[in-house]
């Protein structure tokens, strides 16, 4: 016959209570950790590699009216990523689009699986095209990411049809807007990328950004304006205020809801100026 020892139920109750208290304490600690709220609501954080040019523009800067059409001194362009899949390039060409940028890489962990179709497809219909890199300064150094970009589609050749690579530096879709970096550290990271890209290709990379992000995350640093063309993101009838140092923009992303692919841009000049940028 089994022996029932006095006190056993009490110990069991205390043991269960201790386990429950430990679980509650662990959950409390998790909630207070940086980024824990994001992790808990995983549906709000996109998967790594899915970032696209201008992803945070509407959320942070809003969206106004479209710019007036028919400006003869501007040339229409588009930018695409894996989100667009296989692009109908002939449709875009026939609508007046003459240049394109294609996402090649992100960080050092992602290559666009549609890059060949998009990069070669735009070229085959007659467009001048280039590649862009979505920066993640919280993962690896600027030079490391520049090398990854160049090695995976971000190079340049003087053929009159290849634009210099573009550094897409904007809001972090995976966490803190400035990737956890101080303004000084962010400027250093960007410089590291740009210097390595120049060393590898002989060209100064284009900088794609939004003025509000640039002010917040670099302190409105103006030192890159001498060499690096500006591609400004602003969804409104005019590009508005530019980051410090740049007296003009080279390209302007003005909408994410344009025909065929969404993101549409204006080059600040006629087609011969697009060719000039391609030729260096």
Q: Does any domain span residue 52?
A: no
Closest to 154 in 3D by CA, of 216, 199, 197: 197
Q: Give yes or no: residues 247 and 183 share one domain.
A: yes
State the Rg of the chain over Cα: 24
Q: What is the mean pLDDT of the chain?
A: 85
Q: For position 44, what pLDDT does the model report? A: 79
For residue 193, tell me if it sits in a domain: yes
- Per-residue confidence band for 38, with pLDDT thresholds at 50, 70 and 90: very low
- In-domain check, residue 1: no
Considering the domain architecture, whether residues 157 and 21 belong to the same structural domain is answered as no
23 and 65 share one domain: no
In this predicted structure, what is the pLDDT of residue 25? 44
Whether 168 is a known active-site residue: answer: yes
pLDDT at 11 over 80: no
Say if 53 falls within a structural domain.
no
Q: How many domains does the chain have?
A: 2
Q: Would you place residue 10 in the very low, low, confident or very high pLDDT band (cuts 50, 70, 90)?
A: very low
152, 38: one domain: no
Residue 162 is predicted with a pLDDT of 99
| 207 part of a folded domain | yes
Question: Which of the pair, 114 or 237, is modelled with greater confidence?
Answer: 114
Q: What is the per-residue pLDDT across 44-96, written as a single tens digit (0 to 9) for each?
A: 788 886 566 666 665 666 665 567 676 658 999 999 999 899 999 999 999 99
Do 26 and 136 lie in one domain? The reply is no
State residue 210 phi and psi, 5-degree precision: -115, 145
Please give the Cα distance from 18 to 16 (Å, whole number).
Answer: 5
Q: Judge whether 196 lies within some domain.
A: yes
Find the mean pLDDT for residues 29-49: 49
Are residues 105 and 127 in contact, defined by beta-carbon separation less than 8 angstroms?
no
Give the best-scoring range by mean pLDDT among 16-25, 165-174, 258-267. Answer: 165-174
pLDDT given for residue 194 in this prediction? 99
CA angle 97, 209, 267 (to 5 degrees): 25
Helix (H) or strand (E) holding 263: strand 262-267
Rounded to whole angstroms, the Cα distance separating 81 from 60 reads 21
User: 148 and 210: one domain?
Assistant: yes
Do 14 and 93 belong to one domain? no
Are 18 and 157 part of one and the same domain? no
On whether both 138 and 40 belong to a single domain, the answer is no
35: pLDDT strictly greater than 50: no
Q: What is residue 8's predicted lDDT score, i.e. its pLDDT?
A: 46
What residues are paired with 79 via a beta bridge? 101
Among 170, 241, 263, 272, the active-site one is 170
Query: Which position has the higher pLDDT, 9 or 177?
Result: 177
Residues 12, 116 share a domain? no
pLDDT, position 43 = 53
Mean pLDDT across 3-10? 45
Whole-angstrom distance, CA of residue 80 vs CA of residue 231: 15
| First-to-final CA distance of the chain | 94
The pLDDT assigned to 165 comes to: 99
Where does the pLDDT of residue 237 fall: very low under 50, low under 70, confident under 90, or very high at 90 and above?
A: confident
Residue span of the structural domain in which 88 resides: 60-279
- Both 143 and 24 in one domain: the answer is no
246 and 220 in a common domain: yes
The model carries a pTM of 0.80
Active-site annotation holds for 79: yes
Separation CA 74–CA 52 (nearest Å): 24
**Can you give the CATH number for the domain in which 245 is found?**
3.20.20.80
pLDDT value, residue 130: 99
Q: Which residue has the higher pLDDT, 165 or 37?
A: 165
Query: What's the pLDDT tens digit per position in 130-146?
Result: 999 999 999 999 999 99
In a domain, 137, yes or no: yes
pLDDT digits (tens, 9 = 90+) for 133-185: 999 999 999 999 999 999 999 999 999 999 999 999 999 999 999 999 999 99
- Tell which wins on pLDDT, 201 or 54: 201
Catalytic residue among 61, 76, 106, 168: 168
Whether 49 maps to a domain, the answer reads: no
Whether 16 shows a pLDDT value over 90: the answer reads no
Residue scoring higher pLDDT (3 or 149) = 149
Kindly name the residue from 61, 76, 79, 106 that is annotated as catalytic.
79
């Amino acid at each position: 016959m089994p022996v029932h020892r006095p006190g056993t139920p009490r110990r069991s109750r205390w043991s269960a209570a201790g386990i429950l208290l430990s679980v509650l304490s662990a959950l409390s600690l998790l909630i207070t950790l940086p980024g824990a709220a994001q992790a808990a609501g995983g549906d709000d954080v996109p998967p790594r590699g899915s970032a696209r040019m201008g992803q945070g523009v509407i959320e942070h800067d809003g969206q106004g009216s479209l710019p007036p059409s028919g400006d003869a001194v501007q040339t229409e362009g588009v930018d695409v990523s894996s989100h667009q899949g296989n692009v109908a390039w002939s449709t875009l060409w026939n609508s007046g689009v003459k240049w394109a940028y294609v996402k090649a890489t992100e960080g050092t962990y992602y290559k666009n699986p549609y890059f060949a179709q998009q990069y070669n497809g735009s070229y085959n219909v007659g467009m001048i095209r280039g590649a862009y890199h979505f920066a993640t300064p919280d993962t690896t150094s600027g030079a490391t990411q520049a090398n990854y970009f160049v090695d995976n589609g971000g190079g340049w050749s003087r053929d009159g049809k290849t634009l210099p690579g573009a550094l897409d530096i904007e809001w972090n879709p995976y966490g803190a807007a400035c990737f956890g970096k101080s303004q000084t550290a962010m400027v250093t990271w960007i410089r590291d990328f740009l210097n390595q890209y120049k060393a590898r290709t002989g060209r100064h990379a284009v900088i794609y950004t939004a003025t509000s992000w640039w002010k917040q995350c670099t302190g409105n640093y103006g030192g890159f304006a001498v060499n690096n063309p500006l591609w400004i993101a602003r969804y409104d009838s005019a590009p508005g205020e530019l980051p410090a140092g740049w007296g003009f923009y080279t390209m302007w992303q003005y909408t994410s809801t344009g025909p065929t692919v969404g993101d549409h841009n204006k080059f600040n000049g006629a087609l011969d100026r697009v060719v000039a940028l391609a030729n260096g």
